Every structure is written in C-alpha cells, then in structure tokens.
Amino acid sequence: MTGNKSSKKKELIAKDNFTEWYDNVLLEAKVADDRYPVKGFTVYTGWGMSIARRIIGMLEERLDNTDHDPMQFPVVIPQSSFQKEEDHIAGFSGEVFWITHAGENELENKLVLRPTSETAIYPMFKLWMRSHQDFPIRMQQTCNVYRYETKATRPLYRGREFLWNEGHTAHATYEDAEEQIKIALRIYSEVYDALGLSYIMLKRPVFDKFAGADYSVAFDTWNPDGKVNQIGTVHQLGYNFGEAFEQTFEDENGEQATAANTCYGMGFGRTLAATIAHHGDNNGLVLPPKVAPKQVVIVPILFRGKEEIAVGYAKELEAKLKEAGIRVVLDSDNRTSPGDKYYKWEMYGVPLRLEVGPREAQNKNATLVRRDNFEKVQVDEEKLVEKVNELFEAIFENLKAKDKAKLDSLVKDAYDMDQLEAYMEARLIVKVNWCGDAECAMNIKDQVSGEIRGTRWDVEEEPTGSCVFCKDEAKYVAYVSRTY
C-alpha cells in the first residue's frame, strides 16, 4: 500500500505542455483563479496567497533590516501630479486607468489609479526634506498597481492589476543613490536565491529603461515556454523626479540642492509564477520548503480495525513536528484513499510526505517521501525532526541546482543572424555582439521576434566580434530573448 507513488485518478497534464499544465496547476493547487469577470484581474486563492505572503515576508524583512520605512500611499494620483515628469507620462499614459467621475459629478482634477507610485510619493518626499540631515529617505510598500495592459494577459505573469512591493528613496547626492542601487539589487538577489530561482541581472538598453529613469537594472528569469520573465527591477532615477517635483533641500553649505531618487519593484505575481514554473513537475507544484504553506503532510495508512493505531501515532508525530516549528498537516480524512491524498498533496507541492501505518506505530518510525524526487527514507521517531530539517535543506539545494543548470543550458552564443534566428525559434536566451544602436535592436526584433534585453550588470562581458546585425564594431554583449 505504501508502495504507490501516486494515484492516477485524475489525468495529469505533462509539463511539456506548459500552457495547459500551468493553467491546470493554478486551479488544482488553488494558487489563483482567473475566472474573475474583469479581464486581466485575477483572484489569488488560498494556497497561492499563502505562498505569496511568505515571499512578501522574505522581502519585507530584508527591507526592514536595511532601514526602509513601511508606508501605505493612496491608490489615487491626481492628474496634475501624474503629468509632472515628461518621460514618465509618455511611458505610462497609454496604460492608465482614470477616475473621471465621483457620483454624478465629473471630477475637475481627474485621478489616476497608480500604475506605479513615483508621482504619488515624490510630492510627499518634497514636504519631508528640508535639510541634508533629512536624508536618506527610504520607504517601501506592498500594494496593487494598475496598468491597462494591451498585450495578452496571463494570470500572475501579466495582469491589469498586480501585486508588488515598491521601494522609493531620496538621497542628498547621486553617489548615495548609486549605493542604494547596490543595496536594492542585493536584497532582491537574496529573495530570488532563497526561492531557488536562477536569473540574469541585466542593465536594460536605453530604449527599454523605466520611463523617467537614468538607467534600469532588471532580473530576467527563464520560463518553460521560452519567454523570459522579468521578476524585478531597480532604477536609478537620478535628478529627473527631483527636478520635476522640486525635491530640494539645503545642503551642507547652505545652498539649495536637488535630491536624487531610486526606486525598485518586485512583482509577486511573476515571482510566484517563476517559482511554480521553474520547480513544478508533471505531478504539480514542487515548493521550496521555506515558502511552502505546509511543509510536511502526514498520511496515515489505514487498515480495517487498526485505524486508531495509525491515526493516534500520526497525531503524536504531528505534535512533535509542530513543536519544532514545522508547518505540518495531518490528512486523516477517511473519505479519501491514501492514493488520492498523495495526488492532492503532490499537486500542492508539499515538500515532504510522512506515511504511517500500524506497523510504523508499533516500530516507532515512519517513512518520509520527498516531493522533488520521490525518494523514500525510513526514519526513527527520535530522529524525525532532525531528518525533516535535513531533507528540507537537501530539497532546496536540489531545486536550486536544477534551476541553475536549466538556465545555463538555455543560454547560447550566436555570431550571425541565421544562428540567432535558429536559437530564437528554439526559444533560447542568446548572447550576441551588439553595436549599441537602437536601430539594430529594432531590426533584430523584426527579424527574429526576440528583443535585446540588455547587458550583464553583475559581470563584465567583452564583445568577441562585430555587431550581429550591422557588422560594425560591437560595444556590448547583449542578451536576446522572447519575453512576457
């Protein structure tokens, strides 16, 4: 009975068929429900929101530890503020939701539902800075933002409302803002690392930077469908918003100076989508233990007449694990078979399953089954907690290593357009030599349906030939891929 790997009661969808697999997992594992009757708006359901909250917690803890004040800004931005920074409005005006009426009345100063909060926050920063002693100002908020996306929406990847955390800072000097960029990149890296997600840190090309930024650095991660998924961005805003919003202060010499800003955002939908898409398998989710809402599921193996022995022992083990701070669920529902339970909790991605029957109760041991590779190990009761923690670590390391190997296998070099096109067709992430011209980037996009995503931020890469498109001297090694 304990030999069953899983019940095949329901038809499982192979992950090779990613789109269908993903939609099925979101519903079956209660991650999200996209049937909300407004297009592009998705409900996070119980299991998905529980994972998301843990990811949010991991980020917020790190933001707290680096002196970001938690804040909550209003969701509405007056039109007059929204239009202050020219590039910003040019970049966002096509996709904002407007509030034009209140009751029967037309609003004189129309309101924007925040698509991002620079124009909500910097007018307040202006009020909070008087002298150089007021710096740095660092705030963060977890909130929803709204963008009228015109591309096809996809639950968690691209919605018209999305859940994120945004950080905003103001500094007395540009150099201080540069230091803040490093801190933000480190914090974001730590969160993705803790989720076992591999990524490429890219400085976006000028034509693809955040609207109103001096430059933008993004975390791009792979996706099974061959499109890269941008899971976080960090922006050096320089003095652009300082000037537009008159963020001025009296510097050390008593002169009026303008503040420099940085801002950064981590999309939780996309980060959650990446966690699901990277680690999941044909049986459903495979969760890193740190973010699994339940880390161990105990399944009692019931034999007629001996039910109470197994359930009684299962309860003892449950108490023991709980006491050790492990999130555990005992599935003793007698309406479902062990096979059905295996199927369910495998779909939910619970890292470890603990099987106990009357024999285990008698021998004071139990069988642990890993979700990531289905390996089984028998453990004595007194070693249980220790073994569970050891396996959590092993599962995490395995997921992380597999993820890294996958990313490495997807990155290829191309030296001519034919090669680039072939790799794009194969949905790979391709390194090319690039002259740096926006026109070449546009031509590449037209020809191979892949975009120049940027150049490595964390690693210096020297071009090794001429521009893949125009054959002029290359200045950069650029990464090309399809994207969400």
Distance of CA 151 to the CA centre of its chain: 20
What letter represents residue 175's amino acid?
Answer: E
Tell me whether residue 368 or residue 440 sits nearer to Zn ion (CB atom): 440
Least distance to Zn ion, CB of residue 435, Å: 3
Strands 200-203 and 215-221: antiparallel
Q: Cα–Cα distance between 10 and 25 in angstroms, integer? A: 13
Least distance to Zn ion, CB of residue 469, Å: 5
Tell me whether residue 379 or residue 477 sits nearer to Zn ion (CB atom): 477
Tell me whether residue 259 or residue 435 sits nearer to Zn ion (CB atom): 435
If one asks whether residue 478 binds Zn ion (CB under 5 A), the answer comes out as no
Q: Cα–Cα distance between 326 and 319 in angstroms, integer? A: 10
Tell me whether residue 212 or residue 454 sits nearer to Zn ion (CB atom): 454
If one asks whether residue 379 binds Zn ion (CB under 5 A), the answer comes out as no
Q: What is the dihedral of CA 218, 90, 483, 152, to 10 degrees?
A: 130
Least distance to Zn ion, CB of residue 446, Å: 14
Least distance to Zn ion, CB of residue 422, Å: 19
Stretch of 64-72, 133-141, 143-151, 464-472 contacting Zn ion, by CB under 5 A: 464-472
Which residues, in sequence order, are CB contacts of 314 under 8 Å at separation 6+? 298, 300, 330, 332, 354, 356
Tell me whether residue 106 or residue 446 sits nearer to Zn ion (CB atom): 446
Please give the residues from 198 up to 217 whose contact with Zn ion meets the rule CB under 5 A. Answer: none
Please give the residues from 404 up to 443 whose contact with Zn ion meets the rule CB under 5 A. Answer: 435, 440
If one asks whether residue 470 binds Zn ion (CB under 5 A), the answer comes out as yes
Distances (CA, A) of 17 to 21, 282, 402: 6, 10, 20
Say how many residues make up the chain. 484
Tell me whether residue 4 or residue 449 sits nearer to Zn ion (CB atom): 449
Q: Cα–Cα distance between 414 and 422 in angstroms, integer? A: 9
Query: Which of 287, 467, 477, 478 forms a contact with Zn ion (CB under 5 A)?
Result: 467
Tell me whether residue 350 or residue 441 sits nearer to Zn ion (CB atom): 441
Which residues, in sequence order, are CB contacts of 292 under 8 Å at separation 6+? 51, 327, 349, 350, 351
Please give the residues from 133 up to 162 whose contact with Zn ion meets the rule CB under 5 A. Answer: none
Least distance to Zn ion, CB of residue 452, Å: 10
DSSP string for 273-294: HHHHHHH-BTTB----GGG-SS
Q: Cα–Cα distance between 27 and 206 in angstroms, integer? A: 39
Least distance to Zn ion, CB of residue 203, Å: 18
Instruction: State the sign of the Cα–Cα–Cα–Cα dihedral 446, 223, 159, 457.
Output: negative
Tell me whether residue 257 or residue 432 sits nearer to Zn ion (CB atom): 432
> With contacts defined by CB under 5 A, how many residues of the chain interact with Zn ion?
5
Least distance to Zn ion, CB of residue 472, Å: 5
Least distance to Zn ion, CB of residue 479, Å: 15
Tell me whether residue 396 or residue 434 sits nearer to Zn ion (CB atom): 434
Least distance to Zn ion, CB of residue 471, Å: 7
Which residues, in sequence order, are CB contacts of 390 under 8 Å at separation 6+? none
Q: Are 389 and 402 in contact (CB under 8 A)?
A: no
Least distance to Zn ion, CB of residue 478, Å: 10
Tell me whether residue 99 or residue 470 sits nearer to Zn ion (CB atom): 470
Other C-beta atoms lying within 10 Å of the C-beta of residue 305:
8
E strand or H helix that includes residue 168? strand 161-171
Other C-beta atoms lying within 10 Å of the C-beta of residue 35:
9
Which residues, in sequence order, are CB contacts of 29 under 8 Å at separation 6+? 47, 48, 284, 285, 347, 348, 349
Tell me whether residue 77 or residue 440 sits nearer to Zn ion (CB atom): 440
Other C-beta atoms lying within 10 Å of the C-beta of residue 64:
12
Stretch of 154-162, 171-179, 238-246, 468-476 contacting Zn ion, by CB under 5 A: 468-476
Least distance to Zn ion, CB of residue 154, Å: 32
Closest CA to 397 of 373, 418, 420: 373
Stretch of 88-96, 401-409, 452-460, 461-469 contacting Zn ion, by CB under 5 A: 461-469
Q: Applying CB under 5 A, which residues contact Zn ion?
A: 435, 440, 467, 469-470
